[in-house]
Structures are given as C-alpha cells and as structure tokens.
Structure 1
Amino acid sequence: MALWRIRATVDDRPGYLSVLTASLALRGVNILSVQVHTTEVGAVDDFLVDAPEQVTEAELRAAVERGRGRDCWVARSGARGLADEPTRLLGLAGRLVRDPESTGAALRTLLNADTVTWRPTPTTGSGGVGGATMLLADPAGGGYELCRREPSFTPAEYARAQALVELAATLTSRDTERLTLVLPDAAEVSVRPATADDVPGVRELHAGCSARTRQRRYLSGAADPSPTRLRRLLEPARGTTLLATAGPDGAAESVVAMANLLGEGDEAEVALLVRDDWQRRGLGTALLRRLLGYADRAGYAAALLHVQSENTPMLRTLRRLDRPTVVDRDGGVLTVTVPLVRRAAPDGGAPARRAVPAQRSTVS
C-alpha cells in the first residue's frame, strides 16, 4: 500500500462527497483522513489515502473525476502525513515557542509552500487566498508572501497561517518584555514594551522633563502630546515603544524614559525622551541600542533620527553606537540615517527575528 494526498473541489451539496469516496473505494483506496475547506466555489476536500501499490497517480485522478471531483491535485505522501492537522499545528506552535524566529520555516512546513518571503511593507487585500499566492500580515510590521504552485491556497489555510504568524509575534514580544539595566553609577532601571495603559505614567514623564528636553524630543512647540497621540506612540501600528522605569525600594516605579521606534515602509524613525535627572547616565545609549537591535531583527533597511544640531548629548550618544551613519542637515535639524543589516532567515525567506529573553544587563 502507498500513501497519497488528494485534493479536489466538490459541489457543496448532500451526497456529493459520498459519490467521490465511493469512486475511490472501487479502486481499493482506503481514506485515512479528510479535511473540508469551505470556499466560494465549493467544498475543497483534502484526503490522505492508502492505495494499492499498483494504483497510479493518473488512475487516482480519473477516480476523482468519475466521482464528480474537479481541480484535482494528487501527490505522494510520507509517513508524517499520518499526523492529523491539529497535531501538526500544535507541533509547529511548540517549535515557535522554542524559536520564534523560525516563523518562515514553520509556514513553509505548514503549507508545503515553495517560497516564503518577508517584506517590510504591510500587506493589503485578501492575500490572494484561493490562488497560488498568500499574503500574511506580520503584527510586528511588514508581512509574509507565500507561493505554492499547487494546490491552490484555501481560506482555511490562510486562517491557520495567519494565526501562526500572530503567535510568533506574541512570543517575540513576550521574550523581550522586561530587562533590568544596571547603569555605570550602579542605578537599576527596568525596560519593557509600552502599552496603552501607560499613558498616565508617560504624561508624568513629560511633566517631569524640562521644556528644553521635551522640545529636543519633538522638535516643535507641540512638546506636550495629547493622550490620543501618546496612545499612538505607546502602541504604534508598526514598530515598538520601550519604557524605562525606576523607583525607590518598596515604592511604585515611575517612568523615567521613553524610546520610540516607528516603522514607515522599509525604514523606522527612532526618538528618545529621558527625564533630566536620568540623562548622561548611559540610559539613552542602552535604549537606543535595544531599539536598533529590534529594527535589525524586524528587517528594516535603516533607522532615522531627527536631532537638533545643538543637541550635543544626543549626537554623543549616536557616536557611542559605533555604527556607520549618514548625516543630512536641514537648517538646525540633522537627519541621521543608521543603515541596518537585513538578515536572511534559515529558509531563505523572512529576516531572522531573534528573541531576546528577559535578562539582567550591565551598561558599560
């Protein structure tokens, strides 16, 4: 006996599936499992079958067509095909828990895709579901393009793949949730991703900063953002925002710094706001390095920083990064471009996004 995968579209009407299974049974084909994908053109039935060794691919196609099946696809299957779809999905989810940067490889395995490519621009539309191309939105920014010559993708496969991508993004975010930084003066701060619930704390941060510090951050007179704008900064559509918090032992921690990375196309804009009494202590440098690391992993081509030419502390911070930069001047404002390394994933598609576990780090 030999294992085969068969996929065919059948009219979604009572009795039609039984006609197809009866036609296969006449050839001695044993159906081991079946999945039904509902589409606009009918039910796409995906079979794993055990057929006699002498039955050929052409004979299986003919049996499907006699059973009122159409758009038939037939391929040999290995022993791993015996695992049902929920088991396969759970296995891939476990793989992502151990290694969130293996998203591209997991998608290829899930859908037997020919190619998986990550792109920095967001996806639009339905993603070509039902055709040879599928587009998936990456919550961390950008999206995945999957191609498979045959069989055509179905809406059910799209839903599974999108859920897998969202799981990977959640795992990556959680792996980078909290970091304890030990500054050169031995002070400790906690760094974590921001949420919309942090608006009150970030408003207090702004109130605790001098007018000059706020003006250097926003480069304009609008140096006291509204709650609505703060919510957008704390949970950007693309990118991430990090908060540094500190406080006396046993007391509630307060936000002492905010670092924003806002994605736009294949570039990301970076900005820092550090409370005056926490400046010149290495905190800004540490936050900037962490944001650029995130941008590297997310696959951005470059990071941009808009800095006033008289903002010597920020320019000194950029020099400490020891990265190549390109500087353009527009009046009193400098635009500093930091090229990023776009890393290929192990499967040759999506850039690797390395998960960084929660840790304690000393800033030099």
Structure 2
Amino acid sequence: MALWRVRATVDDRPGYLSVLTASLALRSVNILAVQVHTTEEGAVDDFLVDAPDMLTESDILAAVVKGRGRDAFVTRADPQGLADQPTRALALAGRLFHEPDALGDTLAALLDATEVRWRPAATADLPGFHGGRMTLADPAGGAYEVLRALPAFTPAEYARAQALVEVAGAVQRQQHEQVTMLLPDGTELVLRPAGRDDLAAVQELHEECSAATLGQRYLSGAVPDESRLRRLLEPAGGVTLLAVASGGRVVAMASLVIEGDLGEIGLLVEDGWQRRGLGTALLRRLRAHAERTGLAALVAHTGADNTAMVRALQHLGADRVEQDGPVVSVTMPAAGRPVGDETPAASA
C-alpha cells in the first residue's frame, strides 16, 4: 500500500462527497483523513489515502473524475501527512514561539510550498491569494510571497497562514518589549510583559509583600484571588509588566487596565525592592504603551501616604492630584511630558 494526497472540487450538495468516496473505495483506496475547504467554486475535498501499490497517479485521477470530482490533484505523500492539519499547525505555531524568525520556513512547511520569497513593503502586493500564489504581511515589515504549482490555495489555508503570521508577530512584539534594566547599585532586572504562565510567580510576589504595601495597591484591603490575578496578568486591551530578578523571581508588577479612552494603572513593588527606581521605570513603560494605544489619560488610585508613587507619577507628567480621605487619585495625560533617561528623580 502507498500513501497519496488527493484534492478535488465537488459540488457543495448533499451526497456528492459520498459519490467521490465510493468511487475511490471501488479501487480499494482507503481514506485515512479528509478536510473540506469551502470555496466559491464548491467544496474542495483534501484526502490522505492509502492505495494499493499497483495503482498509479492516473488510476487515482480516473477514480476521482468518475466520482464527479474536478480540478483534481494527486501526489505521493509521506508518513508525516498522517498528522491531521490542526495538529500540524499547532506544532508549527510552537516552533514559532521559540523561533519567530523562522516564519518563512514555517509557512513553507504548513502550505507545502515550493518557494517562499520575502519582499520589501514597497514592492509587495496586498495580502491575499490567487491560484498558487499567496501574499502575507511580515510582522517585521515587508511581505512573504508563498508559491506552489498545484493545488491552488484555499481560504482555509490562507486563514491558517494568517494565524501563524499573527503568532510570529506576537512573539516578536513580546521580545521587543523585553528589556534589561540596570539599577543604580548594579543589579540587573528584566522588564517584560506578563502572561498566564506567570501566575505562580505573581502569587509569590503578593505573599512576600507586607500588609502595608498590599494596602496601598489594593485600597479595598482585599488581596486579589487567583481568578482576579489571572485577569490582571492579561487585561483585555491593556498590559501588565513584570520585573524579574535573577532566578526568575518576580519582584514587581505594573498593570494598565483600559476602559474607553481612559487607562487605570496599578503598581506593586516588593518591600525590599522599593525606592530603587524600579516603580518609576515600570510606570514609564506603561505610559509609553498608553501613548501607542491612543489613550487620552491615565489615572492611578493609591493611599494618601504613598508619597513615592505620587511623586513618580508627577515626574512622568501627572497634572492633577485629588485626595478623598485616605485615597489619592492621580491623573496624567497619556502623552505626558518629556522626561529624562531611566534614572528616576523619585522612586516608587
């Protein structure tokens, strides 16, 4: 028995797929996997089949035509084809997570392409596909042109390729946003966006903070439970940044939660790491994210005794401080005002 890949278009009407499969069965062709791609011309059925050794490409093509298939494509397949397409796409997405620069090779593997070319933005066509040619925007700039002779690309394949492009773009953005910060005493920290895998480390951060520090961050006095922490790690439309010390220990977190054109910021720095410039650095990066997002203003609510936080926000451009009992609300335009380098005038 031999593995073959068979693709053909059939009318998208009840019973037509069964006619095609019956025609293949009469030739003792065993269907191992099938995908259906919906197109304007009809349903494109993509089969991985196991056929008797004596059958040739012409024999299988004849069976497809007899089964009312048109625009047929038949080629030998290898055992890797036994993995279904969702599994294959997930595996390739996993590769991109570790190697976002391998997007071109990953697209070639996903689409069984004969060639993948990169073109600068000025010479690239708009994203889309036609026949055996597909154009995809490169997250780093320019575009990828993906080519294969047969079969023609389908909307489903284009959607999968676009999903991989988005994965690569997200990883590249995350890597770009990760920076190393050098504190005045020579200590190095990594500042990076948070993710769902950081839950345990963030829970440990809360456990290491004093009741007074937690009270300044969470004015209600209630430390967030696991479900709320999960939401804080990946706020919808916003961002949470972490400061990570050696050994992977999270020593500070700063969050930006967006509602309309207003962003609310929160900051938690472990007691032993306070007054070293770390809070100011995190707040500065949150403000930069707010500028890119197009927010009108940022607001922070903290305890009236948290003078370091208030001074840091004023240094970054806050122009309104309002006190209501033990709570202070500090507001600053998202654009802020020009500030100096990462060495803070006041620390949080």
Residue correspondence of structure 1 range 1-364 to structure 2 within 5 A = 1-121=1-121, 125=126, 127-129=128-130, 131-182=131-182, 234=292, 251=309, 275-276=339-340, 278=341
SS of 1:146's partner is strand
* Distance in 1 between residues matched to 2:315 and 2:139, nearest whole Å: 27
* Distance in 2 between residues matched to 1:58 and 1:250, nearest whole Å: 79
Pair 188,97 (structure 1): closer, same or farther in 2 beyond 3 Å: closer
- Can you list the C-alpha shifts for 1:35-86, whole angstroms capped at 9, x where unaligned? 0000000111000000000000010001101111111111111111111111
* Distance in 2 between residues matched to 1:25 and 1:134, nearest whole Å: 34
SS of 2:94's partner is helix
* Distance in 2 between residues matched to 1:105 and 1:249, nearest whole Å: 53
SS of 2:141's partner is coil
Give the conservation status (yes or no) of the 8 Å contact 2:129–2:158.
no
Aligned length: 224
Structure with higher Rg: it is: 2
Structure 2: which amino acid aligns with 1:128? Answer: F
Give the conservation status (yes or no) of the 8 Å contact 1:64–1:70.
yes
Give the conservation status (yes or no) of the 8 Å contact 1:176–1:192.
no
Tell me which moved more, 14-23 or 177-186: 177-186
Pair 256,57 (structure 1): closer, same or farther in 2 beyond 3 Å: farther
* Distance in 2 between residues matched to 1:36 and 1:255, nearest whole Å: 59
- Can you list the C-alpha shifts for 1:213-236, whole angstroms capped at 9, x where unaligned? xxxxxxxxxxxxxxxxx9996259
Structure 2: which amino acid aligns with 1:275? Answer: V
Between the aligned residues of both structures, percent identity stands at: 54
Structure 2: which amino acid aligns with 1:51? Answer: A
Pair 94,10 (structure 1): closer, same or farther in 2 beyond 3 Å: same
Normalising by structure 2, what TM-score?
0.56
User: Which structure 2 segments of 5+ residues have no match?
Assistant: 194-237, 240-255, 264-287, 295-305, 317-336, 344-348
User: Which structure 1 segments of 5+ residues have no match?
Assistant: 202-229, 237-247, 258-272, 282-364
Residue 143 of structure 1: CA displacement?
A: 2.1
Residue 127 of structure 1: CA displacement?
A: 1.5
Structure 2: which amino acid aligns with 1:151? Answer: P
* Distance in 1 between residues matched to 2:174 and 2:289, nearest whole Å: 20
Give the conservation status (yes or no) of the 8 Å contact 1:133–1:153.
yes
Residue 313 of structure 1: aligned partner: none
* Distance in 1 between residues matched to 2:173 and 2:101, nearest whole Å: 12
